[in-house]
Structure 1
Amino acid sequence: MFRRAFWFSAGAAAGVWATTKVNRKLKQLTPESLAAQAANKAVEAGHRLKDFALDVRDNMALREAELGEALGLRAPVDDGSRPAALEPGRPAARPVAAVDHRTNDEHAKTYSYKTYSHNRNEDH
């Protein structure tokens, strides 16, 4: 008699445990739960990305300071002083613009698709 009662209660406990486990898993797989999990993971990824960006910014500033010391540009930008390369008496380097002095006909002949030998649409 005690043997049967033991196995009956063991079976009932196993059934309750299995049912609870399955119900928990089903709740995790509902669309609302999956959306919440995805949102939580996105927020965590955003925090990690923000931390990474802050680390990059800090290390970039540190490296710029090291390079400034190595190049002799120790003056900070905030105090109004300038490095020697940016002094007012010194001319600044300006980009040179390329000027095309050809007429429109010369320009059309040069850039026409028939003048290029590598054109694949050209009849051979």
Structure 2
Amino acid sequence: MFRRTFWFTAGAAAGVWATTKVNRKLKKLTPESLAAQAANKAIEAGHRLKDFALDVRNGMAEREAELGDALGLSAPVDAELPAQRRFSAIENTNTPHTKHAKYLDNTTYSYNRNEDH
């Protein structure tokens, strides 16, 4: 009799354990659970990508500093050297160029192709 009771209890415990396992797996496979898992994985991947980008940016800054030191770009400017020249990107149109001054008169020309002739 004791033997039958033992096996009955062991079978019932195994059934409860298996049912619990199956229910947990089924809950993990519901659409809501799958969506939550995918969202968590996406957030985790985003954090990893952000960390990678920050590492790359720090590495670039370090390498740029190394190259600046190697090329002497970060060295202090010598006081005996003249200041760096700055060139104007826009031409001064108030004064005519002496080279082409003989061709300049006060006539205005229209270069509009759509203008009636």
TM-score, with normalisation over the residues of structure 1? Answer: 0.62
Gaps (5+ residues) in structure 1? 82-86, 93-124
> Equivalents in 1 of 2:25, 2:7: separation in Å?
27
Give matches, 1:1-124, under 5 Å.
1-74=1-74, 88-89=84-85
Deviating runs (4+, > 2 A) in structure 1? none
Q: How many residues align?
A: 83
> Equivalents in 2 of 1:51, 1:42: separation in Å?
14
Give, in angstroms, the shift of residue 88 of structure 1. 3.7
Give, in angstroms, the shift of residue 53 of structure 1. 0.4
> Equivalents in 1 of 2:24, 2:33: separation in Å?
11
Provide the residue aligned with 1:111 in structure 2.
Answer: none
- On the 8 A contact 2:68/2:74 being kept in 1, the answer is yes
Gaps (5+ residues) in structure 2? 78-82, 89-117
Structure whose residues are more often helix by fraction: 1
The one-letter code matched in structure 2 to 1:4 is: R
> Equivalents in 2 of 1:5, 1:15: separation in Å?
15
